[in-house]
Amino acid sequence: MLEDLNPKKFQDNLTKDDNTLIDVREKWELDICQIEGAVNMPMSSIMDTFSKLDPELSYSLYCHHGMRSMQVANFLLSKGFKSLFNLQGGIDAWSREIDSTVERY
């Protein structure tokens, strides 16, 4: 299952116990801003790192505008992952709608 969630629903979903937040942006982007508690797994290296994840758990993914994280989510779905959530509009939308202290770029 893959759900594309607006920032409010994405935020609500993060409260679930078995949900891991993954930032698929590159390190230089993470240095600008991030959502607290996120694990960085850049899209550019996801082929090498996805095997560290448990396909039975839930993962919430985000990037800058929601496109790369959706691509990564679809890739993980194709590898048998069962519970994936994408942040519509990415961290940019998060900054506008949830936490204005998160720097926009």
**Length of the chain counted residue by residue:** 105
Q: Which residue in the list 22, 43, 63, 93 is annotated as catalytic?
A: 63
Q: Is residue 103 a contact partner of residue 32, using CB atoms and an 8 Å limit?
A: yes
Tell me if residue 63 is catalytic. yes
Distances (CA, A) of 39 to 25, 26, 93: 10, 12, 19
Catalytic residues, by residue number, are 63
